[in-house]
Structure 1
């Protein structure tokens, strides 16, 4: 089969997965959707005969410390780390540009929701034939391994190694809450009421960022508002549905009433300043967010706490998921065997897992990582609260039927651009859902995928 044939088949048949599904993802048989590492006239997964240097792009804080451990133990396979912005903040576009130019790194950090997009553009290497990869599935939580296989029982390859997950909860300034006589909210209605109380103190309950569409998707996820549905090879775009509208209308009301800060972008110095000053007092975020606050709001040491996400109905126990990443071997690498070896080590080695949790706040995808002593200990920065108990509960309450589309990078771009207009008062978040749905459907059609009307 020629490269042109493979590209055409991949575009007709690539099927993204059901996030957190406990069954393997499926794809049309025969479509490669990326480079193979199984010999023949394609990239070989045989180990190199000499020393190797690999380039790795990642945005995880403290990743260099893990890389340093690897480099110290593996003089023949050295890894050069490039620290990048988070995926949708620039790294994915840079990766796409580098793939087109033939200058992509050997390894890249890619979130689960974007794997299908990179596979569709033939940006990933199938590492299923690389040493140790096929036997590694049992070392990871089931749903994370199914995310990287793209084929029943791995028949269509393995396209990444799982790294972490992102169950969501509520980070809040307990000192300010205590001063105002407030407790962690249990419902979204209560959260809105607290926003009004907090606004009277000259503060915002949280910020609403236009640059974090993955975050907003996590809010939809909590409400079981999946954005895509799949029936065989046919896709149905469901971005604009009643559950999504409920979320959008809720946050639109907070924006209209000026109860949330709309001039602060996620992961920005301005946001960190607002956390330190107490101008912004909560953040609905994922497990990895604990280190983001810890490292960038150091003056608030001991003043934060973590609680479950507010619920749409009293008594519910539903959580969203924001992020969670993999380590991919990018298409074009000359050293897939060495790259796969590093990816497996990074995400299974006890010392590496400990570093990535301690420094980067990652909630591991590896089964062994879930037994890290640190996840069972009180966290000083959070008033000695055992915060990972909250995230363990959240992880168990994440909807396993949420479905990614195969062109999520496009969907996120539409969502981000539309959110900017809504914040500027040019539209509403409800309008954004409708527009994003229509644009996403067109994006699928441009990739020659079947889309239900």
Structure 2
């Protein structure tokens, strides 16, 4: 991909502040075109393709197709994750992308940088009040442009073994200082048991905790990107977990491994700071502990605060090359804000809707948490303070650098803040090589 601008950013084009990275060809390129709502969007019959990995999305789409005969949508199931993002960028570069794409929040900036998605602000403005400020920030990238409609979210909270907290005589920690003391207490009473673990394999989790701490790894300053992966809040976070690992009072096994599964099952791991979607993995990976876990707000850095962060989630973006942007934007807003659509997403897709009114549709607790009848109501309270965050155009580079640097730091018990500096340097070097203008 050729990098060919940032100096050409025009004030009249809101999207252009973030399309600084890659384009499909040489020469100056226009910013992604915008899509506005229009009564003429469905004047003639159009067909749209939507790439996504939500289970049973075809059942949700069927409801739209029934009530919108002139805008017919075909759902195409994709693998999800990095594979789906790469496939979409490849299709966009070749000029044959789908009209709509499910985009993980951390992947969306790379789509924008490649000019693969459209600014749909005119269509999105009407539904902005349906979403919290933090989640909306993930689709605007710190600008007035809007590059997708939030679909699902991953606000974080604390999952803990209620029965074992009672056994070891510890209270649910409300601050991270209390969490550290509880970790010491548990490990002192039973050296083979740990309150928690630090996973060097899961940068998304660390990014969510950095958000909670107030970190802002990427931001847009005029016509430039600012990179601050090692900002003060994130250094504080790194030093905190690095200190606990070095002290030996928490474990260092990665999440989603056989060792981790065993610890969740046999009660040698007592907490997991995770996202709203955690009941799924717990159901699969720790079946023996069903009914023994409870939920709480993430511990706070300062007593009395109410902050959280996001780990995971996705939006629905409209391809810049779509010939039917207005119709596509209309479908994207319906899918993620219409009460019927949200109900179907919850029922068939097992989605935790990003729209604030979506939480009201979740009434029965996950089967794994049958012991917590007010699970969703509590979760909404615990995650209401999710902070905003802007992902950059090379999240994949930063995340890979995180895994490498923190793997080494965990193995050698060396400084986590030094590892964080390595991630910062790798991220800046990659963006500089790619031709992005960086703020000093």
Whether the TM-score (by the shorter chain) exceeds 0.5 is: yes
Pairwise CA RMSD: 3.9
Indicate if the aligned counterparts of 2:216 and 2:228 stay in contact, CA closer than 8 A: yes
Distance 1:209 1:190, change over 3 A: same
Quick one: which of 70, 73, 88 aligns to 2:61? 70
Cα shift readout 1:144-165 (whole Å, capped 9, x = no counterpart): 445435686x6x5x42111133
2:117 is aligned to 124
Three-state SS of the structure 2 residue aligned to 1:167 is: strand
Indicate if the aligned counterparts of 1:26 and 1:151 stay in contact, CA closer than 8 A: no
1:110 is aligned to 103
**Counterpart-to-counterpart distance in 2, 1:73 and 1:405:** 33
Distance 1:279 1:343, change over 3 A: farther
1:195 is aligned to 183
Distance 1:295 1:32, change over 3 A: farther
Three-state SS of the structure 2 residue aligned to 1:166 is: strand
Matching of residues 282-431 of structure 1 within 5 Å: 282-294=271-283, 296-333=285-322, 336=325, 339-357=328-346, 362-372=351-361, 374=363, 381-382=368-369, 383-400=371-388, 402-425=389-412, 428-431=415-418
**Counterpart-to-counterpart distance in 2, 1:311 and 1:215:** 16
**Counterpart-to-counterpart distance in 1, 2:272 and 2:297:** 12
Three-state SS of the structure 2 residue aligned to 1:371 is: helix
Distance 1:422 1:98, change over 3 A: farther
**Counterpart-to-counterpart distance in 1, 2:266 and 2:115:** 46
**Counterpart-to-counterpart distance in 2, 1:446 and 1:14:** 23
Indicate if the aligned counterparts of 2:134 and 2:386 stay in contact, CA closer than 8 A: no
Q: CA deviation at 1:331?
A: 4.5
Three-state SS of the structure 1 residue aligned to 2:317 is: strand
Indicate if the aligned counterparts of 2:49 and 2:98 stay in contact, CA closer than 8 A: yes
Cα shift readout 1:234-280 (whole Å, capped 9, x = no counterpart): 443322233322211221233334444434344x5664454333343
Cα shift readout 1:115-172 (whole Å, capped 9, x = no counterpart): 222200122134457xx655443444455445435686x6x5x421111333221001
Indicate if the aligned counterparts of 2:346 and 2:362 stay in contact, CA closer than 8 A: no
Distance 1:229 1:69, change over 3 A: closer
Three-state SS of the structure 2 residue aligned to 1:324 is: strand
**Counterpart-to-counterpart distance in 2, 1:203 and 1:451:** 45
Q: CA deviation at 1:10?
A: 5.3
After superposing the two structures, state which structure 1 stretch, 420-429 or 48-57, moved more: 48-57
2:22 is aligned to none
5+ residue gaps, structure 2, are 20-27
Matched length: 420
Three-state SS of the structure 1 residue aligned to 2:310 is: coil
Quick one: which of 237, 243, 257 aligns to 1:247? 237
Distance 1:342 1:295, change over 3 A: farther
Q: CA deviation at 1:306?
A: 0.6
Quick one: which of 202, 206, 209 aligns to 2:199? 209
Indicate if the aligned counterparts of 1:222 and 1:318 stay in contact, CA closer than 8 A: yes
Q: CA deviation at 1:312?
A: 2.7
Distance 1:411 1:279, change over 3 A: same
5+ residue gaps, structure 1, are 16-23, 39-44
**Counterpart-to-counterpart distance in 1, 2:10 and 2:406:** 29
Distance 1:84 1:308, change over 3 A: same
